[in-house]
Homo-oligomer: A and B are copies of this chain.
Amino acid sequence: SVESLIFEKGAPGRRAVRLPAMDVPTESLDELIPASLIRQEAATLPEVSEIEVVRHYTHLSQRNFGVDSGFYPLGSCTMKYNPKINEDMAGLPGFARIHPLQPANTVQGAIQLIYELEQYLAEISGMARVTLQPSAGAHGELTGLMLIKAYHQSRGEGHRNLVLIPDNAHGTNPASATLADYKAVEIKSDDKTGGIDMEHLRTVLAAHGTNVAAIMLTNPNTLGLFDSNIAEIGRLVHEVGGQLYYDGANANAVLGITRPGDMSFDVVHFNLHKTCSTPHGGGGPGAGPIGVKAHLVPFLPGPLPAKNDDGYYWQDAGPQSIGKVRANLGNFGVLVRAYTYIRSNGPDGLKHVSESAILNANYLKHELSKDYEIAYPYICQHEFVATAQWQKDQSGVTALDIAKRLLDFGMYAPTTYFPLIVHEALMIEPTETETRETLDEFVKVMRQIAEEARTEPEVVKTAPHTTVIGRLDQALAARKPNLRWQPGQELTHA
């Protein structure tokens, strides 16, 4: 089944929206805009009626899988349940329909929410202050590195140009380092523990310590393992004058258990769309607030929320501030949802979130270990990495094949081929919001797939079989990119 493009629907003159009638005296267009600056050809937007709009996008939604549709064990992405109350709160006209430049006295509730959310996140992360400005995790990373750069420069150490990044880090880490004009230096993982190779770290620090601006870590790391050397790592990096950056992508494992600040990190970002249950929206919006220790506060982007006897207000950034990293004040709609979530859970609830996420991951790891190689067979935290190595060796069935086959059972697939240091990786993060029955069902399906890989591998290699469309030709898409519809375009490849 195919749903044609909205551009292929409708007919000339059709329309959905009717605009209000012109209620002011009008002037001729020519008198208002010089002829050369007037648009000559109308934009070729669709000409469709309201019912066509409704059916088309309803059909598209029906061709999409979300957390509400079923299990979504996408490692590192924390696809937890998105509470509906979050949406309702963000939709209140008093939150949804306010302008970013309104005078502070007309948005006291909004600034209060931001002010309080900053305090909650500071407490959760063990940091001095938090800015809610960054739009996403990667944006937070970049902002954090800018702060570190400004900090070093302020101390006359502007020459520090290296950022250390483990080989199993998220791709955003090295990309952010580049964007901040740093050189990324890869730190090896310890083959055995899955943590930082301490010897390698010491060697790098010894050789380049005076040029090290920072190390970027996530803990638990992308293998789902808590690096128990964290305090020592902190001491070593701080000793050479480097800063510690905490990639908060895996923060769903540490709420109320440990805090980046207590782990000696200087900067931390949150992915509120992961940890605080705001919906991922098909790829965004997210929000990537960053928290910093006191010595970095002067460099934070501004303005920051403040409070005095008259109420809440926005305080301009000080002279050392890096400036702004985006227009306006941060992804407020996302922040309202995160605020709702934190207030819904409270301190005990948040700790229980992480404990339960860890339990669910360990349960799955245990149950899958008979049929799949587990990359690091230790107690994991919120996620773990299984592999398709046994299957690949046996019958050529790959992690990709297994991912595709899972789709046939009404489940989304784990993250595949990441982290890069694990071959045929299947990175699995169940989250705390899944029931034991769902985990058991996943195990059952994974077991069946393992069995199929042994007995009828073609079934797996040609999966999926029950989805609205089969595997797509990625090579063709990249070789002959077709990124937009053109009037008169045939379905290029059909």
Contact = CB atoms under 8 A, between A and B. Distances in A.
A49 B84 contact: no
A464 B50 CA distance: 30
A102 interface: no
Nearest to A84: B54
Q: Range of interface residues on chain A?
A: 20 to 34
A81 B68 contact: no
A69 B83 CA distance: 26
Contact of A434 (B11, B50, B51, B59): B51
A27 B263 CA distance: 49
A492 interface: no
Contact of A69 (B58, B68, B433, B436): B58
A137 to B, nearest CB: 24
A55 interface: yes
A436 B10 CA distance: 10
A13 to B, nearest CB: 12
A311 interface: no
A123 interface: no
Given A58-B68, A68-B55, A81 B50 contact: yes
A108 interface: no
Interface in A65-97: 68-70, 81, 83-84
Given A58-B68, A58-B69, A51 B84 contact: no
Nearest to A54: B68
Copy tally for this chain in the complex stands at: 2
Contacts of A49: 433, 435
Contacts of A51: 81, 433-435
Contacts of A58: 68-69
Contacts of A433: 49, 51
Interface string A42-55: 00000001111011
Given A49-B435, A62-B62, A435-B49, A69 B81 contact: no
Contacts of A84: 54
A55 B83 contact: no
A83 B84 CA distance: 24
Contacts of A11: 435-437
A436 B51 CA distance: 12
Interface string A416-435: 00000000000000000111
Interface in A431-458: 433-437
A12 to B, nearest CB: 13
A339 to B, nearest CB: 18
A437 B9 CA distance: 9
A156 B197 CA distance: 103
Nearest to A52: B435
Interface in A93-127: none
A63 B50 CA distance: 24
A478 B72 CA distance: 41
Contacts of A81: 50-51, 54
11 contacts: A9-B437, A10-B435, A11-B437, A49-B433, A49-B435, A51-B433, A52-B435, A55-B68, A55-B69, A58-B68, A62-B69
Given A52-B435, A54-B84, A62-B69, 9 more contacts: A10-B435, A49-B433, A49-B435, A51-B433, A51-B435, A55-B69, A55-B70, A58-B69, A62-B62
Q: Nearest 8 CB-CB pairs, A to B?
A: A51-B81, A58-B68, A51-B433, A54-B68, A55-B68, A52-B435, A58-B69, A55-B70
Interface of A: 9-11, 49-52, 54-55, 58-59, 62, 68-70, 81, 83-84, 433-437
